[in-house]
Structure 1
Amino acid sequence: MASATENSVPSHSVPSHPVPSNSVPSAAERFVVITGGPGAGKSTLIDRLQEAGFARSQEAGRGVIQDQTAVGGRALPWTDPDLFAELMLCWELRSYRDLAAHAARSVSPGSAASAASAGPDSPSPGPVFFDRGIPDIVGYLRLENRPVPAHIDTAAREFRYHRRVFIAPPWPEIYRRDAERRQSLADAERTYASMVTTYTEYGYELVRLPRVSVAERVRFVTEHLSGPLPVVANR
């Protein structure tokens, strides 16, 4: 894995003008990211949105940790953060392309057969929810004081999502550690702050999720996705 500093961007540089993804032009309008610190109810919300019939991605970080642990790999955040980031990027790009392809079929004429044969995570013509996005990888590397490789910055600029990104604030009352989530609550708060900064720099508008029940969060997201939303202050 290349780690030369000349292939990296400064850890706190503001990316140049974001450009649309060259994968599927309409994907950015339908791909909605939900991010935030760990243990803030983000994945629980996305699970509930999936139960309500929305398509979704699976979180890259947790998936990579589970896979690497199963095979004795070293691409783990506590062993090799740079390699961990590379595998997360591969995961996110694969999720983006797979869901973009399914999304294109779901709005194509005569796509009923394709929709019927697709898996349970295949998108409907509505929004597709992403459990974190590519900019999360940039935020993670910054949090770890690691250089951000130029190709990861490029991926974050070119593979775009809906301009409004939902972000779950730290929630001490529900925070729990588990086998994949080893961070402290203080780490979770720093992660949240890093995601606020990173997504803002990549040109997204952040919308803070209220600390309410899962059902109320689902209602908040579905009712306000296309309307005016309160944008998170950059703090």
Structure 2
Amino acid sequence: MTDHILITGCSGGGKTTLINALAKRGHLIVPEPGLRIVQDERASGGSALPWIDMAAFLWRALEMAKADLARMADQSPTVFYDRGLLDAAVGLKTLCDVPFCETLGPVFPYATRVILAPPWRNNFEQTDDRQHSFKEAKREYDSIRGAVQDLKCDIVTLPFLDIAARVAFVERTFGLKRPLGINPTNRRKP
């Protein structure tokens, strides 16, 4: 059975850096839906961008996260997700009042221990793909944290450490070792 581990939390909290470092160690990862959508929309001239049409962006993120889960269902033993279904569901609940039962389904599809990256001012920067402010990122984090608590999941708070120490923390917390015989460059993107 696959252990789907969700890494979520504050924008700029180091989630993508952590995911990429875990991939380099040979762990199977799924990149953030939102960043993939932004890249697709920019390439196609689309408008499902958070700063143009947030609802369309969130619905696309929800569908992409569901597809990611379906595609990774038989992978083993562990898959790390950079954001995912929960993030889109929280956004849709906040923006459009869509209940979790419609977005998450009857069973939470990830492990009951969720990694949360807290707000880290020194790590946050606005980019062309991340145009919201640190204050908005903190509000987003509070909403996600509240949803994780409401779902009765255990929160694993990502410590404010350098990336090597964060990877070691995650591997230790989840009892993982570097997978043997895996070529990390072939496992970065599903």
Inter-partner Cα distance in structure 1 for 2:77 and 2:93:
33
TM-score normalised over the length of structure 2? 0.86
Shift in Å at residue 159 of structure 1?
5.0
- SS of alignment partner, residue 89 of structure 2: helix
Q: Does 1:84 align with 2:33?
A: no
**For 1:187-226, what aligned pairs fall within 5 Å after superposition?**
187-226=136-175
Deviation at 1:152, TM superposition (A): 1.4
Structure 2: segments with no counterpart, 5+ residues: 177-190
Q: Report deviation, 1:186.
A: 0.4
In structure 1, distance between residues paired with 2:93 and 2:129? 20
Contact 1:31 1:129 in 2 (8 A): yes
- Whether 2:92 is the aligned partner of 1:163: answer no
After alignment, is 134-143 or 31-40 more displaced? 134-143
2:34 is aligned to 61
Does residue 147 of structure 1 match 2:97?
Answer: yes
1:214 counterpart letter in structure 2? I
Letter of the structure 2 residue corresponding to residue 146 of structure 1: C
| TM-score, reference length from structure 1 | 0.70
% identical equivalent positions:
33
Q: Take 2:103 and 2:55, find their aligned partners in 1: how far apart are those partners?
A: 11
Q: Deviations over 1:73-124 (max 9, x none)?
A: 12111222221111111110111111113x1xxxxxxxxxxxxxxxxxxxxx
- Equivalent pairs counted in the alignment come to 175
Contact 1:166 1:209 in 2 (8 A): yes
* Runs (5+) with no aligned partner, structure 1: 1-25, 104-124, 228-235
RMSD: 1.7
Give the distance between the partners of 1:62 and 1:36, measured in 2 at CA. 15
